[in-house]
Amino acid sequence: MTKPACQLYLISPLDVGGDFPARLEDALSAGAVAAFQFRVKDIDQHEAARLAEPLQSICARHDVAFIVNDSVALAKRIRADGVHLGQEDGDPREARELLGRDAQIGVTCHNSRHLAMEAAEAGADYVAFGAFFPTTTKEVKHRADLETIEMWSQFTEVPCVAIGGITPENARPVVEAGADFIAVSGAVWNHPEGPAAAVKAFNALLA
């Protein structure tokens, strides 16, 4: 069986108000994107649901999975396609019980194949390794290496996401190591020519 090509996984900036829905539309209209992660901090669930609504509609129109960061409760409330859990954000088994068998559940595993195996055994649909490069999107407490992806992709069928400072310029080694998805945020939303140009650059690399 041939392994599917690596795909693009967008992560939102923390500020998703204002003109962000238009910027998301711009990005998703520019090329193939597998998933979009809604990542906001320090706001209540009611406000988060309000901000998510237009973004969720845009993703649905483009057949892009809408994944909620950290909060199983929010994911259930808005009927998101799935949830992404950090190591302190809950158990994938409990998330599965609440969200159902069709939900996409991902787990942050830093640079640890052991954590990834635990997540996979708990029913995670994908695991995320990172950060691979310096990033300003969030504080980096763990650095990952390419060998982690290489070993994981050789010995398991559970997809892995590479995250952390990935740009069109540095992504190739991560893709070649066997990542199933590359998760990107700043490289798209802060691109000098706009998010559409960034998505096109990533898709050219992944083609």
pLDDT tens digits, one per residue of 80-137: 999 999 999 889 999 999 999 999 999 999 999 999 999 999 999 999 999 999 877 6
The tokens for 205 are: 């690399």
The reported pLDDT for the residue numbered 109 is 97
Residues of the chain with pLDDT under 70: 1-2, 137-140
The reported pLDDT for the residue numbered 40 is 96
d(CA 108, CA 101): 20
Question: Burial, 207: exposed, middle or buried (Cβ in 10 Å; 0-12, 13-18, 19+)?
Answer: exposed
DSSP annotation of 103 reads -
The reported pLDDT for the residue numbered 138 is 65
Taking residue 140's Cβ as centre, other Cβ atoms within 10 Å add up to: 16
Q: What's the CATH fold of domain 7-206?
A: TIM Barrel (3.20.20)
The reported pLDDT for the residue numbered 38 is 98
DSSP annotation of 49 reads H
The reported pLDDT for the residue numbered 140 is 67
What residue ranges do the domains of the chain occupy? 7-206
The reported pLDDT for the residue numbered 85 is 98
